[in-house]
Structure 1
Amino acid sequence: MLGIVIDDSRAMRKILRGLLADLGFEVLEAGNGQEALELLQSTGRVPDLALVDWNMPVMTGLEFVVEARKIAELRQMTLMMVTTESEHGQIVRALAAGAHEYVIKPFTRDGIIDKLALLGLVPVGVL
């Protein structure tokens, strides 16, 4: 499976990349939503999963979700927000825009794995 981690923090990308790699994902990385869209367009690859931060320069995570949902090839991609935004209204906005799940930082490894399991994205035998 292919995943993409979209976060402006290198440290957070490293943490999430390692978690996904441990689950058997091949992982791409981008520092903001625009960079992610350009990367996906240039490679022609469609990730099974995108882990998306909200607060990023150039293009926010919410803007990425909205734009990704406009692109036919990316509509099948599972989107999970992984962010510090904890306000109920923000969660509702992200889910309404097309995110499938929402995880608030700080998170635990098990918390992410549990959400991925609910989405059917954890390989059998990992849990």
Structure 2
Amino acid sequence: MLTPQELKVVVSTLGQRRVWLRKSLEDNKVPASQRKEHIDSLKLLDTAMQKLANTGQKKAQNKASPPAPAKTEKGIALEKARILIAEDDEDSAKLLIDILQDFGIKTVDLAEDGKQAFDKIKTASMPYHIILCDWDMPELTGLEVHSKAKASNTLRNAHFIMVTAVSEASRIKQAVMQGVNDYIVKPIDIDILENKIKAALKIAQN
């Protein structure tokens, strides 16, 4: 790779050669065969000088404007998300699964009670990105699932969303105080759920 100074010298040398060729073509004493050779050489010189000039311009532009840092994608795509639903009501669970699949989410696991939920969180080979957990369940409540998973360090970076049929301020405050990331009230509004899922995945980690 030529330095700007070396590039300048090369262009100057080629320019001098170009001038000499043009003058030789003006001389009628130059044989036809040599004239053709000079014309071909002149064409090559013109092409070479143009390329060198373009190279110099690009170098100057690059020096004046350093390249912008590469953009990186953040978060997890919907189709790559891993979500656990903890819901003891069969119809509610099926509805949630259908909704998430309509969003484009492919990996959706189901726990039918609190104990199953905790066991799945604890034994998952790949940690869940989001846990949608019903509040009132057999074996363990949603809060107890969160508490046990957090205490055993198995919750990891999962975004824990509490699903509740009761929108009492005291309940919501209790969940937030315990460290639950978010909540959603039944009956579930699909648009609200989608926004919460997407927001959680934006900050999720693999």
Interval of TM-score (by shorter of Structure 1 and Structure 2): 0.7 to 0.9
Does the residue aligned with 2:119 lie in a helix, a strand or coil? Answer: helix
RMSD, aligned α-carbons: 1.6
CA distance in 1, matches of 2:163, 2:122: 23
Is 1:14 the equivalent of 2:14? no
**TM-score normalized with structure 2 length:** 0.55
Is the strand fraction higher in 1 or 2?
1
2:69 alignment counterpart: none
1:87 aligns with 2:168: yes
Q: Which residue does 2:188 correspond to in 1?
A: 107
Query: Aligned partners of 1:42, 1:120: CA distance in 2, in Å?
Result: 21
Q: Which runs of 4+ in 1 moved over 4 A?
A: none
For 2:101 and 2:180, the matched residues in 1 are separated by 22
Structure 2: where are the runs of 5+ without partners?
A: 1-80
Equivalent AA in structure 2 for residue 98 of structure 1 = G
Q: Is the 8 A contact 2:121 2:154 kept in 1?
A: no
CA separation of 1:44/1:12 partners in 2, compared to 1, >3 Å: closer, same or farther? same
Identify unmatched segments of 5+ residues in structure 1.
Answer: 122-127
Bigger proportion of residues as helix: 2
What's 1:125 paired with?
none
Structure of higher CA gyration radius: 2
Identical columns (%): 29
**Counterparts in 2 of 1:41-60, with a 5 A limit?**
41-60=122-141
The count of residues paired between Structure 1 and Structure 2 equals 121
